[in-house]
Every structure is written in C-alpha cells, then in structure tokens.
C-alpha cells in the first residue's frame, strides 16, 4: 500500500563514505553497459544493479527511481558536450570565423566521440527521460555560447540571426548522430569532422550575406 509522493529527481544522496563513491560510479557504468547490451526496453534496475555488482537496494539508495538514474546519465553526458562547446567558444573569441567554427566543430565531435558507446546508448534514453526538455535547455545554452563567440568575429559583415545558429547546431547534432549510429569508424569520424567544418563555414557565410542583402 503506497501513498504516492511526487517523484523526486536527481540523485538521492551524496556519498559520505569512501566506498560509496565507487558504488555510484559502478552503477553509472553498469547502466551504460546494460543499455548497450540489452536496449532501453530491457534495461531494468535489477539488471543494472546486478551488472554493477551491488544489490537493487543499494541502487535505490543513490537514485530514488529509474528515471532519475537515466536522467543523471543523460544530464552528465550533455553537460560534458556542452562544456566542450562552451570552452571552445570562449577560447575562440576574436578569431576569424572559419577558425572559430573549426574549433567548435572539433571540440563538439571530440566530446561526442570520447565515449561513442555512451553517446549511442543515450539516444535510446532521450525519448523517455524528458528528452525534449533537457535538449531544449542545453540547446539553448549552446546557442548562446555560439552567439557570443560569433559576435566577436572580425571578418563577419553582420551577425547571423539566432535561428541560424540554432539550426547549425541541430544540423551538427543530426549529422553526428547519424555517424554514431552507423558505427562511427575512425574514417567516418574524420570525414565527419572535416565535412561539418565545411558545412558550418559555408552556411554561416551564406546566412550573413543573405541577411545583409535582405536587409539592404
């Protein structure tokens, strides 16, 4: 007989003892393993705990429910990608547009490819765990970082509108996803990087001009 409390979110408690940190890490890694080997539909908390070498009870001491576990996983990943993008944006301020975009693309692709298994696994989650909401938040932040950077480009006739930047970002994401789901062989990753740079550069060039001419 349960009274339904509003489900909490985010990790339940911070480990204070030493071994607890290990446990949390093990659970995290196990979740990815199970996701990859069994798929989202067959990802059960029991299986995750088993793979992590702990009991279900332990899992639930750190995550109040299954959602929160998946959410944490997704969030950490997005945060890491976002961080890479934001850093690249910060460090490229004042550089020529072409260089800017090259830096950003490379950092973005690198971040996604650091753990291709995780990146791929998380596509399975995002639909269930508040995918859109989280995506909107990180998408927004990426867009802002990109916008701030692009404003400082010395060789750009005029700043492209926000929509264009958002679109560039989602195009990057789409292309990267496609490569990841196709297996992400080193060759393809290299090509992806090069082509994405070209795509971004040419698109940004076009929309600036286009917008300028439209405004004239």
Partner DNA sequence: CATGAATGAGGTTTCATTCAT
Partner DNA sequence: TATGAATGAAACCTCATTCAT
Rg (Cα) of the chain, in Å, rounded?
A: 20
Of 46-105, binders to DNA (CB under 7 A) are 46, 54-58, 60-62, 64-67
Task: Determine the Cα–Cα distance for residues 84 and 107; give it in Å rounded to an integer.
Answer: 6
65 lies in the binding site for its own copies (CB under 8 A) = yes
Backbone angles phi, psi at 51, to 5 degrees: -60, -35
* C-alpha span between 105 and 196 (Å, rounded): 7
Residues 123-162 that bind its own copies (CB under 8 A): 123-128, 131-132, 135-136, 139
202 binds DNA (CB under 7 A): no
Residue 45 Cα distances to 4, 13, 187, 194, 213, angstroms: 20, 18, 36, 40, 57
Asked if 186 interacts with its own copies (CB under 8 A), we say no
User: Contacts with DNA in 8-37 (CB under 7 A)?
Assistant: 13, 15-17, 19-20, 22-23
Alpha-carbon distance of 211 to 10, in angstroms, equals 43
CA distance 195 to 172: 10
Smallest CA-to-CA distance from 200 within 82, 98, 113, 86 is with 98
Least Cβ distance, residue 33 to its own copies (angstroms): 16
d(CA 130, CA 135): 9
Smallest distance from its own copies to CB 169, Å = 8
Q: What is the DSSP string of 71-89?
A: HHHHHHHHHHHHHHHHHHH
Cα 145 to Cα 12: distance, rounded to the nearest angstrom:
31
Cβ-based nearer residue to its own copies, 93 or 146:
146
Which one among 36, 95, 98, 205 touches its own copies, defined by CB under 8 A? 205
132 binds, options DNA, its own copies, none, Cβ within 5 to 8 A by partner type: its own copies
- Among residues 37, 158, 185, 206, which is the contact residue for its own copies, using CB under 8 A? 206
> Does the footprint of its own copies cover residue 9 (CB under 8 A)?
no
Binding partner of residue 201 among DNA, its own copies, none, CB cut-off 5 to 8 Å per kind:
its own copies
Is position 50 an interface residue for its own copies (rule: CB under 8 A)? no
Kindly list the residues in this chain that would bind its own copies in the complex (CB under 8 A): 1-7, 38-42, 65-67, 123-128, 131-132, 135-136, 139, 163-164, 166-168, 170-175, 177-179, 181-182, 188, 191-192, 195-196, 198-199, 201-203, 205-207, 210
């Amino acid at each position: 007989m349960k009274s339904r409390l509003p489900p909490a979110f985010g990790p339940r408690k911070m480990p204070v003892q030493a071994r607890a940190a290990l446990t949390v890490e093990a659970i995290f890694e196990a979740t990815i393993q199970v996701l990859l080997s069994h798929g989202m539909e067959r990802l059960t908390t029991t299986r995750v705990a088993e793979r992590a070498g702990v009991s279900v009870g332990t899992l639930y001491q750190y995550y109040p429910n299954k959602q929160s576990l998946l959410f944490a996983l997704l969030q950490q990943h997005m945060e890491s990608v976002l961080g890479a993008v934001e850093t690249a944006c910060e460090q490229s301020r004042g550089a020529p547009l072409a260089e800017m975009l090259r830096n950003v693309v490379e950092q973005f692709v690198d971040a996604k490819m650091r753990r291709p298994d995780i990146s791929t696994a998380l596509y399975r989650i995002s639909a269930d765990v508040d995918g859109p909401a989280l995506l909107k938040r990180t998408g927004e932040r990426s867009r802002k970082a990109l916008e701030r950077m692009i404003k400082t480009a010395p060789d750009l006739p005029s700043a492209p509108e926000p929509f264009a930047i958002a679109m560039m970002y989602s195009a990057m994401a789409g292309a990267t996803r496609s490569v990841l789901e196709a297996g992400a062989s080193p060759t393809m990753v290299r090509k992806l990087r090069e082509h994405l740079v070209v795509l971004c550069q040419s698109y940004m060039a076009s929309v600036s001009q286009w917008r300028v001419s439209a405004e004239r």
